[in-house]
């Protein structure tokens, strides 16, 4: 002991052993078992949280997709030109336009006769 140089750059084995023994908790296995449980619990909790977030998220996303599909579908139908829209610029008779969905020959004939 007395032969130790305080500036010695190598560890003091005797002092080190005393310190280790003094500070050792002695139940590392139990501590590690508790730590592993805590990590496992935290991991499963994280997944639960993610799953908890995911469920309402999926419902919201599905609702948005369905709503958007319906809206787009409605928009598309509204944008499809009817026969009336298609022939209006040509100056076709109003009667024809009114009955564009069911173009009956007598209506066309009457209309032509009126113009004559």
Partner 1 sequence: MTDVTDAELARQAAGGDTEAFGQLAERYTPAARRLARLFLRDPDDADDAVQDGLLSAWRALDRFDLRRPFRPWLLRIVLNAARDLRRRRVVRRTEPVPETQASRIAGPDRETERTLLRTRLDAALATLPERQRLAVTMFDAEGYPHAEIAALLGVPEGTVRSDVFHARRALRKELAPFLEEVP
Q: Lay out the site mask for partner 1 across 36-75 (x = CB under 8 A, - = otherwise).
A: x-xxx-xx--------------------------------
Question: Would you put residue 82 in left (φ > 0), alpha (ψ -120 to 50) or beta?
Answer: beta
User: Which is nearer to partner 1, 43 or 65 (by Cβ)?
Assistant: 43
Rounded to whole angstroms, how far apart are CA atoms 47 and 107? Answer: 71
3 counts as binding partner 1 under rule CB under 8 A: no
User: Which is nearer to partner 1, 10 or 101 (by Cβ)?
Assistant: 10
Burial of 70: CB neighbours in 10 Å, binned 0-12, 13-18, 19+:
exposed
Rounded to whole angstroms, how far apart are CA atoms 66 and 63? Answer: 5
Q: Which residues contact partner 1 (rule: CB under 8 A)? A: 1, 4, 6-7, 9, 11-28, 31-32, 34-36, 38-40, 42-43
């Amino acid at each position: 002991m007395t032969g130790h140089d305080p500036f010695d750059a190598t560890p003091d084995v005797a002092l080190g052993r005393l310190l280790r023994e003094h500070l050792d908790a002695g139940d590392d296995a139990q501590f590690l078992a508790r730590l592993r449980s805590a990590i496992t619990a935290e991991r499963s909790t994280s997944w639960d949280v993610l799953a908890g977030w995911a469920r309402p998220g999926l419902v919201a996303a599905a609702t948005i997709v369905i709503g958007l599909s319906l809206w787009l579908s409605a928009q598309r139908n509204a944008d499809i030109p009817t026969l009336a829209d298609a022939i209006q610029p040509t100056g076709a008779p109003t009667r024809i336009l009114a009955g564009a969905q069911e173009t009956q020959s007598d209506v066309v004939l009457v209309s032509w006769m009126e113009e004559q």
